[in-house]
Amino acid sequence: MASLHCYLLQLTIFLLLFNQNLCFPSKQTLVLPLKKTLGPHPHRASLQLSSSSTSRLPFHHNVTLTVTVSVGSPPQKVTMVLDTGSELSWLHCKKVPNLNSIFNYQSSSSYVPIPCSSPVCRTKTRDLTNPVSCDPKKLCHAILSYADASSVEGNLAYETFVIGSSAQPRTIFGCMDSGLSSNSEEDAKTTGLMGMNRGSLSFVNQMGFPKFSYCISGFDSSGVLLLGEANIPWLKGINYTPLVVRSDPLPYFDRVAYTVQLEGIKVGAKMLPLPKSAFEPDHTGAGQTMVDSGTQFTFLLGPVYTALKTEFIQQTRGILKTLEEPNFVFQGAMDLCYRVESTRTGLPELPRVSLMFRGAEMSVSGEKLLYRVPGVVRGRDSVYCFTFGNSDLLGMEAFVIGHHHQQNVWMEFDLVNSRVGFAEVRCDLAGRRLGMGL
């Protein structure tokens, strides 16, 4: 009888998505509405939990993508950054002046610290960026560092996490008591981070979801996050590119990232005159291409960025007025900027930039190509910068596809089949069709 019930659930999943009162097991589909959050932070992405639904969560984007879930016994609501570029989920557990929200582990009866002698500490942490250690209380201690120079540290522990109606006891996470932030004002809005990469400790793997998808609107503040199978009749035309999976350890290759193979870039109809080797990782692993919801913009290694910048300038000559300030660099890596009349409604027609992956293509056009720098004006002009940056200026040895260029693209991360899918979709309409009421 139970198997028949699950079969019927799968057959009627589209109808179930519209019912806000239904519950889903952890390996069934959860639907989460998303909403945009503005902020200055370049390398984090923000999601929040809907109080009116047990199976749907609101999602916010721009700088950060955050989700609000319940943690502990009795449950405490926490807001976590959704990051496909990270593995270990963590929460702030110690109150400091700039934090608005922390997880009070001392009041939770289901909180269990992990000793450094545990197999979890000794083996499951091997893909973390820094090796774990043993603190004075012989507890498993981790230090996590990120590309924006922020870092947090604290102890690993087990706790019960509830997302929608699905509870996952003994979820492994980091209970962090200190850290270094590059933007404390923005970080104060969240309680922690939800790691969603391919690592064994990532939240998506611990919850047992075979895949997840999200769709970020470029038209308004709406969007949708879907955990589990996307059995949606109207969702068609997804093109898949295989993940690049390597088992051998390399110094500059993240083995649990969503790594895809970028094969070329077109500006308009012109392919950049670069060999495929310019996009391939070298013998050290440097040069992988990662799809990252935790990074706002897209960053390319120096030679590729220079070729794209040169061609874009050539094709927009006479259309855009460059900002003739050689020392002006937005967010440390975006040095191609323009002056646009503040009174102008909309941007001029710009050439499309197409990222060519193995088996799939992502097109960036219109307003996704230029980003207005907040608060910066030159006379009567606003300053806009090209939304591709130079990885070399950030000290990153990788290509990173940020979430700004994922707007109005259905992004599917398929862990079982080791692939990422893209499909152009009006994400505001997708949210409405999935019953989000946005």
Q: How far apart are CA 259 and CA 252, in angstroms?
A: 13
Q: Are 172 and 201 in contact (CB under 8 A)?
A: yes
Confidence of residue 98 (pLDDT cuts 50, 70, 90): low
Give the type of residue at 336.
L
Pairwise pLDDT comparison (116 vs 44), residue with the higher score: 116
Confidence of residue 54 (pLDDT cuts 50, 70, 90): very low
For range 375-404, the mean pLDDT: 94
Q: How far apart are CA 59 and CA 403, in angstroms?
A: 13
Q: Are 211 and 413 in contact (CB under 8 A)?
A: yes
Intervals of CATH 2.40.70.10 along the chain: 2-208, 239-426
Q: How far apart are CA 193 and CA 305, in angstroms?
A: 30
Coil vs helix vs strand at 306 = helix
Q: What is the pLDDT of residue 27?
A: 53
Token reading at 29: 């589909």
Q: How far apart are CA 340 and CA 157, in angstroms?
A: 51
Question: How far from the centroid of its chain's Cα atoms is residue 151's Cα?
Answer: 17
Buried b (16+ CB within 10 A) or exposed e, 353-366: bbbbbeebebbbee
Residue numbers annotated as active site? 83, 292
Coil vs helix vs strand at 310 = helix
What is the secondary structure of 107-126 as a DSSP string? G-TT-EEPBTTSHIIIIITT
Cis preceding-peptide flag for 74 (omega within 30 of 0): yes
Coil vs helix vs strand at 45 = coil
Count CA atoms within 13 Å of residue 159 on its CB side. 30
55-73 confidence digits (pLDDT tens) = 334 444 344 667 778 999 9
Q: Are 412 and 229 in contact (CB under 8 A)?
A: no
219-231 confidence digits (pLDDT tens) = 665 667 888 887 7
Instruction: Compute the mean pLDDT over every residue in the chain, rounded to the nearest whole number.
Output: 82
For range 181-190, the mean pLDDT: 56
Decide if pLDDT at 45 tops 50: no
Does this model's pTM top 0.85?
no
275-320 confidence digits (pLDDT tens) = 999 999 999 999 999 999 888 899 999 999 999 999 999 999 999 9
* Residues above pLDDT 70, as percent of the chain: 80
Q: What is the pLDDT of residue 11?
A: 33
Which CATH code, of 1.20.950.20, 2.40.70.10, 3.40.50.720, 1.10.3470.10, is assigned to 239-426?
Answer: 2.40.70.10
Token reading at 277: 């080797």
Coil vs helix vs strand at 393 = helix
Count CA atoms within 13 Å of residue 204 on its CB side. 30
Q: What is the pLDDT of residue 180?
A: 57
The partner residues of 290 in beta bridges, in order of sequence, read 259, 400
Token reading at 221: 């503040």
Lowest mean pLDDT among 31-45, 148-162, 274-288: 31-45
CATH number, domain 2-208 = 2.40.70.10
Coil vs helix vs strand at 200 = coil
Alpha-carbon distances of 433 from 33, 223, 292, 338, rounded to whole Å: 11, 11, 26, 38
Coil vs helix vs strand at 212 = strand
